[in-house]
Structures are given as C-alpha cells and as structure tokens.
Structure 1
Amino acid sequence: MRLLDAYIGRTVFVAILMVLVLLLGLDFVLGMVAELRRLKLDYQVPEMLIYLLMKMPQRTYDYLPFASLIGCLVGVGSLATHSELVVMRAAGVSLWRIVWAVFKPMLLLVMIGTAIGEYVMPYTEHLADSERALQRAGHQDSILQQAGVWHREGDEFQYFNVVEPNGVLHGVSRFRFDENFRLLESSYAKRAISQGDHWILEDVQVSRLEEQRMVSEHSQTLRWDTGLTTDALNIISVSPEDLSIRGLYAYVNYLERQGLDASEQELEMWKKLMQPLGIIALIVIGVSFVFGPLRSVTMGQRVFIGVLFGFGFKIFQDLLSPASMVFGFSPALAVAAPILLCLLLGWWLLRGAA
C-alpha cells in the first residue's frame, strides 16, 4: 500500500510542478516583454533579467493555488484516463485512501509555499523594486516617484523616494506642520543612513517659515532623531500583498497606533493565513471533479474546466474582499467564504462518488 501511495503522490506532485513551471515560464516571458519598454539609464537587459528572477518567489507564491488545482486535475486525470483508478477501486482500495495519497505530497507543497511567503518573498520583492528604481534613475536625485513611500510621525509628514532593505533612504523629504496644519518647516536630504538609534542625513536643504520670510539652510550632514526604525521601513515600503504574515501583523499594529485605517492590511493578512487552506480546498475540488463529473472527459476538457473554476474562485475572492471593507463585515469571513464553499462542494462530490 505504501508503494501505491507513493505512486499516486508522485504522479500528482510531478503534474503540479509541471503546471507551475509552465505558468512561471509564461509569466517570465510576458514580464520580459513588458520590462523591455522600461529600459533606462543603468537599467538594461542584465539588470532586467535579475529583476525578473527576483520576482519569481512572489510569482511562485501567487500561482501555487492555481497550479495545485490544474496539476491535480492533470495528475489524477491521467490515472483515470489509463483506467488505473478503476483497477485500484476493483482491488479494494477505498476512495478516501486514494484522496489521502493525493494529499500527502500536497502538504509538502503547502509548507514550501508558506516558507516562501514568510521568509523569501518579502525580502526579494523589496530588493527587486528598490534596485530597479535606483537603476532606472541612474542614482540621480530625480528617483522615480512611483517607488516612494509616505509616512507620518506626529506633526511631521515624510516622503522617501526609495527605501533600500539595508537601512539606506534616498530622497528624504520632510514637512512639519503646526496644530492648524500650517507648514512650519520643510527639508530635503539626498540620502539618509541608519545608525541604529538615529539617522544621518546627507546633503540636506532646510527651509523654515519665520514670520514674513523664509530662511534656508544647507548642511552636508545632519543628525535625525526619529522613532522610525529600519524594520518598520522595510514593512511600510512594501506592498501589503508582498509582506509576510508577521510583517502584516506588525503593519496593522503600526497603522492602528498612528490612528490610520488598517483594513486593507488586515484583509491581506487573512488571505495569507488562509492560503494553505485554500490550496487544500482546490485540491479537494480537483480530486472530486475527476471522480465525479469529469471522470469520462478528455484531458483537455478537464484542464479547461479547471481553468474556468480557478478563475471563478479568484474572481469570487476578489469581489468579496473589497466588499468586506465597504460593507463592514469581517475580512476573515470574506476570505474564508469561497474556501468553505469549495470544501463543501468537494466533500459533497466525493461523498457521492464513494
């Protein structure tokens, strides 16, 4: 029986890996076509290829649920096409035993996906985006604005053109206001370097409003005492979907302390928490389809229906997610509802097949 479990698991596991590699390869080619139009200054073909490779962990994490569904349909479907499932059932192997044999290697995939999302993707995404912004700007002052990050600390608003993971800021703009939100002081520093408990600003231009005149000062270096740490910057400078669960939890707490809305970050945190359960739900659907309505159809039809179902699942999730913020119901419910529906549908189909 162990040999049978290993055979079923290996067949499905290889099918999922093949689908995942195919999706990543297609994404890489499309990304390369899109990036070729953005070549500029120090950002040329070698830098573009490095950038796309650094985006692969994030793509792998995003495609894993979809690849699991299609790969499960292909793997289990190939066993059905060659009548191997019929032989197993005739030999007395129960349906639930076959389902468990499919699930065992999937647990490894779930753990790999979780590890990528927690420990690899946040760092590579931050590094890829910050390096590309610097390269496309040619390390000049006019760093691309779409890479920037806004931050509020008390009565001061801050904007950073580029945040590097190693504790270096480029293009630091600071605006200090009074209690009536009248501008008191603005400053711009070409660069800021973390020194642990404070920052050193380089090439600083400060402008102050004093009564009826403006006073400007220039300093080569200036000490900046702030509660903003490198770890906090590495969180707020990355898109919520690219953060780890730990990073999102810290981000939600940070926004709540600042009195800001954290619903988007909380929603993304629930998505990541429930992604392993989502992968399991899609695998249940894939197995139940092969044993149920898709038992006698061709492989092409299985893949086509799997793609349609995968897109439908994604669209349903994407519609419920913003609806939770608009109508004020729990983001956990918005994320869990499609997953629970998949599990119930799969269980119902498998129960009928058994």
Structure 2
Amino acid sequence: MSRISLRSVDLPVPALRLGRIERYVLVQQLGALGVALGVISALVMLIDFVEISRGLGSDTDLSGLRVLGLMLLKSPAVIVQLLPFVFLFGTLSAFVGLNRRSELIAMRAAGVSAWRFVLPAAGCALVLGIVTVTVIGPLASSADGLFQRERQRISGSVMSSEAPEAVWLREGQDQRQIVIRAARQDRANARLLDVSFFIYTTDEDGRRAFSERIDAETASLSNGFWRLTNAQGARTGQRAMSYATLDLPSSLADDEAFERFARPQSTPFWSLPGQIQRITDAGFSSTAYRLRLQQLLATPLLFAAMSILAAAFSLRLMRLGDLARMAVAAVVLGFAFFFLNQFSAAMGSAEVVPPFLSAWLPPVLTALAAFTLLFYTEDG
C-alpha cells in the first residue's frame, strides 16, 4: 500500500503595507490637505474675528487680544464642520496635480490600477476622520462650549438685571417627574429663589398625574438633595403643610441647577452618551443629541467618500481632457452632498426621519456615488 506524504505548502499572504507608489500618492495628498486646511482655516478665522468684533466688541470694550482669544475658541468647531470640504478640495488638488504632471498617465501605462492609489487615499481619510471624531472634535467642542459661556457672561454684563429671567428645570425618573420653576437664581450662593416644585407620578399604564406642589423661599442643591427653606406643600386632596426645612431627592448634579444643557455642537463626543441619558431621564427630547452622535460616528465615512469622489473626477481627466469642467463638477457635486447632509440633519432634528437614518444616509449616498463613478472610470 503506497504511502502518501503531505507536505506543508507556504501560501503567499498579501502584505498589508504600502508600496512606493502608494506612499508617494499619500504624501502628495497630505500636502494638499494641509494647504486646503490652511486656506479654509484662515477664511473661517477672519470671518469669526470680524463677527466677534462687530457683535460683542460693539457692546463692550474688548481689546484686540480678547477678540483674538474668543476667535480661537469659536473657530475650531466651525473648521471641524467644514473638514469634508478640506478632503474634497485637498484630494482634488493632489490628483489634479499628479495628472497635470502626467504622473497618473505614467502609473496607468505601467499597469497600475486606480484602486491601488485611490483606496489608500480613502483609508488615510478614514483614519483622519476617526482621529477627528475622537481627539480633535472633543477639543473643538469643549472650546466652543467655553466660547458660549464667555459670550453669555460678556453679554450678561451689559444687560439690565431689573427683569431677571425665570429658571425652569425638569428632572426625575420613569415613576416620578418634577418640574421646577424659580423666579430668579442666586449664583453667588448657588440657590434658587421663590421656587415652586410641581411633582407628577406615573401609573402602571404610563399615564402621568399631578400629585403634589411645594413652594419654597429658597432651594439649594447638594449631594443629591434639594434643601428647601420656608416651604409649604400640599398633596392632591390634602391640606397644606409648612416646613422650616425640607429635603427632596434629586437626580441632578450640583451644577446643573444653574447651567442649561450644552448645545449638541458644544458637547464632546465622549460626553454625548451620558448627556443623552441625562436628558432622557429628565424628560426632555434628546433627538438633537442623538443626531449629533450619529453624525460624528458617520464622519469618517464622509471623509473617505469625499476623497474617493475627488479622486474619481481627477482620474477622468486623462480620458476626457477637460480639466476645468471636471474639477468644477466635482466641487459642485461635493457642495450638493454637503447641503444634502445639512437638509437631512434638519429633517432629523424635526423628527421627520429617525436620527440614525438622517445621519448616515448622506455619507452612504456620497460613498455609493463615488464608487459608481470610480467603477465607471476604471472599468468603463
């Protein structure tokens, strides 16, 4: 009986590394992205400097250095929002430059597929998108939140305090909701003044009913409890009772009684899940914050799609020979997808469509259009 010997065969495993061509294209793309980022950042900072000078600067005597500091707090959030155009213009500029120098023609003549240098460029945009969402974006959001607080403080210093604005809060869990109204607040002593607590309970059927009202002279929040002084409370169908001091459990943090919820754009990426949970527990709508979270998660895909779209239009220049027309078409299409993203976000904020669909539909459509154009360009 013959014996069959089996010997191991070393199968070639594709190496996950970039060749010389890919590295060269990536260097060209990163350089063009840096130039596009510099131009867009300069324009944004110039516009913000003028806006802050004419807005806050006209109401108060702000020095040039103070205006510059406020601009540096506000501009990063706007620049991050315009980063899709950085990838569109930067990638388009890089590949158009390669095409003008006939380097793309030489690569294609040597049998190099367009996918070989387009996909690494898209992968680079994807990685930069992840870095933007996880590192740069939170820093920009924190700076924007600081700018909003500084603007309110500067604007408040020149506003009349004769008619203070009433404070409204809402907190609670599924079984109990509390609506709080204060005629004014004492920030120096962290107190609410002339405050009323309207307490609602939820039955097993999900119906909410009013159960108790408590009026107090002052209310201060500390260690998860409201401390009320000179309070009077009455339950439904019962007589009113007076309290010198009364403690009510609270789900708010100590500083939330005096700070409104930050805007979705001012909330860092890592803080959004907790913020959504807090707003939901308080009984408010968290649609804008859930939409913001999904938009941030879809940002890397949007950056990669913009890069592929720009590269695909640049590749067609070799065959059509119309540089200006195709470059303008790429820019117009990029603007169209950007405004589609804004329109979809508006639909999501209005709860016309779910936040998930509103955030992911424009990047997916952009990616599909880019891949379709690239397939048509490469394979005819």
Contact 2:126 2:303 (8 Å CA) reproduced = no
C-alpha separation between the residues in 2 aligned to 1:303 and 1:273?
Answer: 29
What 5-or-longer segments of structure 1 have no aligned partner?
Answer: 211-216, 218-222
The equivalent position to 1:4 in structure 2, one of 1, 16, 21, is: 21
Partner SS, residue 155 of structure 1: strand
C-alpha separation between the residues in 1 aligned to 2:24 and 2:162?
Answer: 54
C-alpha separation between the residues in 1 aligned to 2:158 and 2:218?
Answer: 16
Partner SS, residue 180 of structure 2: strand
The equivalent position to 2:215 in structure 1, one of 182, 185, 201, is: 185
User: 1:297 matched to which residue of 2?
Assistant: 322
In structure 2, do the counterparts of structure 1 residues 152 and 143 end up closer, same or farther at CA, with 3 Å as the change threshold?
A: farther
Partner SS, residue 340 of structure 2: helix
User: 1:53 matched to which residue of 2?
Assistant: 72
Contact 1:31 1:52 (8 Å CA) reproduced = yes
- Per-residue deviation at 1:314? 2.0
In structure 2, do the counterparts of structure 1 residues 285 and 175 end up closer, same or farther at CA, with 3 Å as the change threshold?
A: farther
1:197-236 maps to which residues of 2 (within 5 A)? 226-229=250-253
In structure 2, do the counterparts of structure 1 residues 327 and 35 end up closer, same or farther at CA, with 3 Å as the change threshold?
A: closer
The equivalent position to 1:78 in structure 2, one of 59, 84, 97, is: 97
**Percentage of matched positions with identical amino acids:** 20
AA matched with 1:123: S
C-alpha separation between the residues in 2 aligned to 1:76 and 1:336?
Answer: 27
The answer to whether structure 1 residue 261 and structure 2 residue 280 are counterparts is: no
User: 1:151 matched to which residue of 2?
Assistant: 169
- Per-residue deviation at 1:67? 0.9
C-alpha separation between the residues in 1 aligned to 2:374 and 2:47?
Answer: 38
C-alpha separation between the residues in 2 aligned to 1:272 and 1:234?
Answer: 28
User: 2:145 matched to which residue of 1?
Assistant: 126
- Per-residue deviation at 1:271? 0.9
Q: As a proportion of its length, which structure holds more helix?
A: 1
C-alpha separation between the residues in 2 aligned to 1:278 and 1:160?
Answer: 46
User: 1:337 matched to which residue of 2?
Assistant: 361
Question: What TM-score comes out, normalization by structure 2 length?
Answer: 0.72
C-alpha separation between the residues in 1 aligned to 2:183 and 2:93?
Answer: 47
Contact 2:169 2:257 (8 Å CA) reproduced = no
AA matched with 1:114: V
The equivalent position to 2:87 in structure 1, one of 57, 68, 74, is: 68
In structure 2, do the counterparts of structure 1 residues 235 and 185 end up closer, same or farther at CA, with 3 Å as the change threshold?
A: closer
Q: Per-residue displacement from partner, 1:126-157 (whole Å, max 9, x unpaired)?
A: 222212322343499849999x9853134343
1:34-53 maps to which residues of 2 (within 5 A)? 34-37=51-54, 38-39=56-57, 40-41=59-60, 43-53=62-72
Q: Per-residue displacement from partner, 1:43-90 (whole Å, max 9, x unpaired)?
A: 443222111101233123211112111111111111112111001111
- Per-residue deviation at 1:25? 0.9
Partner SS, residue 252 of structure 2: coil
- Per-residue deviation at 1:102? 1.9
Which 10-residue stretch deviates more, 52-61 or 82-91?
Answer: 52-61
| Structure of larger gyration radius | 2
Contact 2:141 2:267 (8 Å CA) reproduced = yes
Contact 1:126 1:234 (8 Å CA) reproduced = no
User: 2:270 matched to which residue of 1?
Assistant: 246
- Per-residue deviation at 1:186? 6.5
Contact 2:264 2:292 (8 Å CA) reproduced = yes
User: 1:23 matched to which residue of 2?
Assistant: 40
The equivalent position to 2:108 in structure 1, one of 82, 86, 89, is: 89
AA matched with 1:134: R
Question: What TM-score comes out, normalization by structure 1 length?
Answer: 0.76
AA matched with 2:99: A
C-alpha separation between the residues in 2 aligned to 1:26 and 1:145?
Answer: 38
What 5-or-longer segments of structure 2 have no aligned partner?
Answer: 1-17, 172-176, 201-209, 235-243
